[in-house]
Structure 1
């Protein structure tokens, strides 16, 4: 795409070239040295501001295009930004100027609350535009021109401000397309009395890089001020002024423009006296003030404090400003013009220039922040030519374009003026405010307390706030009884929230200053840890690390302890109650940061657990969280791999099952009954139809139905159910629409047939439904009672619990020290849960016995408990998402669980499990003795009858030597169930 008849053109930093292009031009654009974004837009669509960016030399200018298309989708659009002010001409890609008039772009501040007011100000003629242009939609400021296929309004929302600007349009011939203003931004309000650099747009840097006004250092304005002071009859100063005047008569060069600053040093004593009018001696040692050359950041006279913190050897300001050079130059030039406006044109505008300088304190090496203000009272402005005249129209134009320096320079050429004198600068320490703002901003960021770099920044900010260069910051998160060390003194390169060594229990801090701070609920100051009388092992370790002085502050979120903040110093007394007062404002922000970090971490941990392990029992969740944290740590370190094995050693197993006796036989009987009845109903229809029309085919069909009935009645085999249903649906039921035409009685019989079928299954399901409902009622009764009782048992001692429902309910329990974080366990809790299990099994047996009257199918339940006194290990199988016993020896327990319900009593050929009874299977005599104690206790409470059977069991495949106790449960149990406390007391009372 080469130059057209208008030739190539370039636009400045804040101009935008918007082109409609075809596919060939699009291909050419892709070769541009700039990133090009192609946007395909519908009528009325708005591209989000973050949807389009064009970075150039480290700058990131984001803008969105609000547009209108003439009722159709264009194949390709592009918005291309050329930076002639930043890049050399040869780097700027040549564009062919469009044949239509070129559009100029202008910048405005744009905030929704001001939109109508902005527009009205232009309608009243306060701007250049005197009337509203045709085709502009005020509610949606999109330029609409029926004669052009595409016009656009662009919004550029960022330039050191955080506020959006609106870009208005004007054709080259001056036709206004939208609310116009000159380049640069003005504040659109009814009263333009205040300006701020945070509401301004800098013009092209080339236009303001060189300050256009001649400026000269002069002490004449200061001498004139002395004269006015003396005229005010201040006698004390009159005597001093007489001496000054006498000295100045000897050195008249001091009242002339000074070009050689060595003259100031040569007459330093006289300058000191002169400057007492500017810098009061009483505040000389404390104030941060200086006298600067006019409109330069270079000092020729400064207080000791200002000299020490701000000035380089040549007198220039060495501190870092919060604005770039272009913004500083823009502000300097605007201040000069506003000074001219006040002096000569009665244009009084106050300019708010929030300038913050940051400098290193040589005493501490820490940053300090100062707000800088300039006092121009010792400046004089002299005309070096005729004063440019401004009429009302020109003043209105200036007021409408206050921040457009091009307009000022056009109407008031700088060569007509010269500045003499000096500027007084005063710096006010705003370190606390700036640091607090930075802390608030940083703590809002994600991973602010986890990232090593961001944590180091937080520590630096706190050092600056408290003026303590050796301060060490420590943060810990608290979740339940778990304590995670997030970071300490930035020595932790990889966040320790992922490391095994950073996991503690809150009980580990018993007796420490941390526990004391939590107990008192407010920050605790330890002036000198070495002289602290109640040091625990934790404080001893802190002392070994070189920390003598501490502040420990508990962090709360919604009145819940969420973490701990610690500040340490190697020097006793540096951290004190005054420091704590400064922390009060940021402690809630640290609390929120820790809360967010814990939530984010938990989300990541739960995602890993869900992916690797599915649902996890709450009792062992802590171990899976620990494994997930370690997995994240390995990932962060680049080691990858799988989650570590999760094994719980030395746990005691308990197993119980309440089985529905003869459920398989009952289920088969229900299936047989339904299928036979279904077939007989179908046969009745065929027989009735045959009486109307004796077709041989119907005889053959009756034969096949009888054959199916005979086969099912003789015994149900695998596949018979599906085969019968397939026969009915394929060979019998398709005949019904035709057979019902044989007669009304056949029609009625078919209707009756269809009525008895289950609407969802399409088959007769009466007996099976009764059976399933009876099984469900038994299962739900057992499971509900078991869950409620198990919830109370967890309060006795945490344990792993899982249950499964089929024809009855089976459940497994594991209990032991390895299942809990602190590892503490006593055999008392094993005895306790064994008694609880037997008691609950009695209650289940009683409930299922009482349930018989509600069952549609008479079913009975038998109950069994398997005892093993030898602890075993269980391992989580990641492939199967479940726990299983670990080790060859322990597999014997799993085999017993699967085969024990079929066990028979030796010599009697009788099933061990019987309705209304509980069988307690064991292999060691000491296990029987323990359970006889529980049985005796429950007999005393009326749960179990006096009869207790002790039997030997026939050998099972791979299992020999099992014995059992069998007890009968009373149908009606005592009304008052035992509480967990009563069970605990009962266990303690047993021998």
Structure 2
């Protein structure tokens, strides 16, 4: 321990070290006196001896000039002994004292000085200061959090999350340290009267971000004087940071090519094991029809496979080794390959020939299934041992995710080939695709360079469009979300309130404030973005807050009296109760959303089932193309015409027949969904819409979307109208055309309407539809005018077949 003064931010342009501060140990002495009064164990004697030594020199209780700190080496050593475990080795501890809220260090462990200073010159290491602007913002945030907390009783908003980076002298790898600044032995005093502040406005600003300029304008630090001392602790978080790097790399996989992606992961693993001379390889377990396969592209980053490839033995080596290894996978460690018998396994000889001296294989599990192996190797003997492998434990779950992603990508490629080359098409149009495929193969055999796939299109087909929509699905979804969140936040407030009462933890007040603010913001107009913000608050603030106190209570029980005391037990029960309520599958805070999703699923499943039967029926009279689309409800397109079935003569009788079938099916669907209401946890209704298009159109197959779409400028108008009529209003009324229990039929041509009126009269005679047919004019839509509609109620209750 040495009283050496260094300025951690020397030569930087931000100058936070210029705050009006003085070194004082009075607050620590007060702290020690309180501890003596409260302590009843043998510690009290020790504390008293330390206090006596500190007070033996009256000058130590006064303000001390920075230049005179070295005169109190014994006193500073005693303070260190009080604040750090007595068995701690100061060479391994990065701990120091500084002027209050200032980067000027005046006393620290040899480990601290060795870490932040140059061994030759004793100056601050040049690679310590990197992002000066970010550091300045963090330190300013700490300063004003301290001022507001001490003088305005404002909850602290600085959370010691500053990270500094240094290159390790031994490994040459970058290392990361979390900088913690403990200001509990500091005081702040206003030089004059305290400025009046709008704390609610400050709280609102902090919800968005911390604006340095706002605080330096409202509260210039020149208005305050600081006394005491701060404690600086650096904690090595390299492994934690490396794991975070791997996680971010996985999330951003699309931004990297395979080699860069692997290099990022391997570089992070080197940081975890703290050795640049150790390298890594990945081998995912790929199977086709449950048989292991060798995929050269996924083995590029395996040391063993790359070495075997040079001898044209990669596939044989892999399959022989993998089939044996994966029968009973377990860690394999060879610290010195030179001492291994290469006749036992071919892979040992292959690795030796490639210069590998030490090698290990670790099986990687995902959901308790082996998804691959992680290779660990070095060209140095005995570089790998059990301690190195143990360090990798923290990264193995993410390596498992990488392996799982490789496997999913491989299986997806297989599925894509199947879809691309072997997708079964609807029988009505399959003949056209077979014909096109044959023409391509024929042309390719004659001239491979000019062979191309023909456009697949069908001319002069008649379209039929229908839509079954769940009424007010967005409103219902937002309402369910709002009701669930109100229940969750009310319980969360109760839990935080209980925590505040039992522990007296002031920060719980801020969490209660935030919860109440969220309750006031939740409304029927909530958007997905609002939901994401709420989720972010719960997962990243509220839940970690509760988990901390739950784990802290359990830890105190384990290391203290063995079982939680009644207060701790009650606290744990309250927190557990909250997490039970928010369980997505069983908890009350998801009840409304579960009920809504179950109701929507019940409707869509029933409608899907009926439409599948409907599709089979209409194919019996004349082949047609039928395609469904899933929205909040279900939409479908039907195309019928001579070009779809050239071998069978088309007649408009088939078109009329399918139109009648469509109207009948919509009435049946209205009845089916209405009958489901008593079975639904969240009652929902559907609306039924048909678009009548009297003339034929042309459709073509779109390769990019693997579906049929309209073709030509005039035909596209049909598509535009179809997409805009779902929310159309009746002209001059503001009333939505589509209504529950009714079928709406939109049209342009009066002749088409007359045809459907005939179908309506027929279904009224059969007691399927009610006697309330309406003829309606519709409001103008963007680029569409002159739309009309028929609307008829379905007889939902009477008996009909």
User: What is the TM-score with the length of structure 1 in the denominator?
Assistant: 0.37
Q: Name the larger-Rg structure.
A: 1
Per residue, is there more helix in 1 or in 2?
2
User: What is the TM-score with the length of structure 2 in the denominator?
Assistant: 0.46
